[in-house]
Amino acid sequence: MFQQPSPFNRFIANSPSVFYDSLLISKIEKEYTAKTHELKAKLFISSGNYEEDNDPPFYKNFVAQLKASNYNGLEMESLLVDKTGHGSAGFYALIRGMEFIYNKPDITVDTTLLSHYAGHYEFSTQLLNKNDALYFSGNGIERRLSAETDKRFYLKGVNE
């Protein structure tokens, strides 16, 4: 990730051994940020909370270091998985990481345009324009639609 150009721009780091080789990854990141503040990447980074019993807390310190570098283009989510260690955090964190790095955008659409979409549709389905968002309503269910573009909407967790 800190070698540009990189063939990848999406990364999942589950329980990374940031302490390895005397904090080598922290040193590499510091060298990288000394050269540039551009990093076009999505990073999901996680650890089990039992791993953070270290003093100092290596994972938390590295996440803080990444945030402090304030990279242009870096989208990052960090997760400390409760009641897990190095081996057990990975399964849950991998799924969350995949959701994050491959998620669709959720943009704000002009409310005037949303009004054009609102109305009754076939199969007892209705689209509502409320709270500056478009809502799906049907079969007793009402859910906010996320906007990928001003013409493409989706239900989070259903058709992502």
Structure tokens at 116: 């054009």
Q: Are residues 14 and 73 in the same domain?
A: yes
Confidence (pLDDT) at 106: 82
* Three-class SS state of 113: helix
* Three-class SS state of 152: coil
Going by pLDDT thresholds of 50, 70 and 90, the confidence category of residue 122 is: confident
Confidence (pLDDT) at 62: 95
Check: CB of residue 92 under 8 Å from CB of residue 136. Answer: no
Q: Are residues 55 and 80 in the same domain?
A: yes
Confidence (pLDDT) at 90: 84
Before 16, cis peptide (omega within 30)? no
In whole angstroms, what is the distance from residue 44 CA to residue 14 CA? 8
Check: CB of residue 113 under 8 Å from CB of residue 99. Answer: no
In whole angstroms, what is the distance from residue 40 CA to residue 14 CA? 20
Region of residue 75 (left: phi > 0; alpha: psi -120 to 50; beta: else) = beta
Domain extent for 143? 111-154
Q: Are residues 93 and 132 in the same domain?
A: no
Q: Are residues 79 and 32 in the same domain?
A: yes
Q: Are residues 83 and 24 in the same domain?
A: yes
Confidence (pLDDT) at 11: 95
CA distances from 35 to 28, 61, 65, 71, 155 (A): 11, 21, 15, 11, 41
Confidence (pLDDT) at 71: 96
- Which of these ranges, 37-51, 89-103, 137-151, has the smallest mean pLDDT? 137-151
Query: Using CA of residue 25, residue 28, residue 34, residue 40, what is the dihedral sign?
Result: negative
Confidence (pLDDT) at 131: 87
Q: Are residues 68 and 115 in the same domain?
A: no
Percent of the chain predicted with pLDDT > 70: 97
Q: Per-residue pLDDT for 51 more than 90?
A: no
Q: What share of the chain is helix, strand, coil (3-state, %, to 5)?
A: 35, 30, 35
Confidence (pLDDT) at 70: 96
Q: Does 44 or 118 have the greater pLDDT score?
A: 44
Q: Look at the pTM and tell me if it is higher than 0.75.
A: no
Going by pLDDT thresholds of 50, 70 and 90, the confidence category of residue 159 is: low
Average pLDDT, the chain: 88
pLDDT 10s digits, 21-32? 999 999 999 999
Confidence (pLDDT) at 160: 54
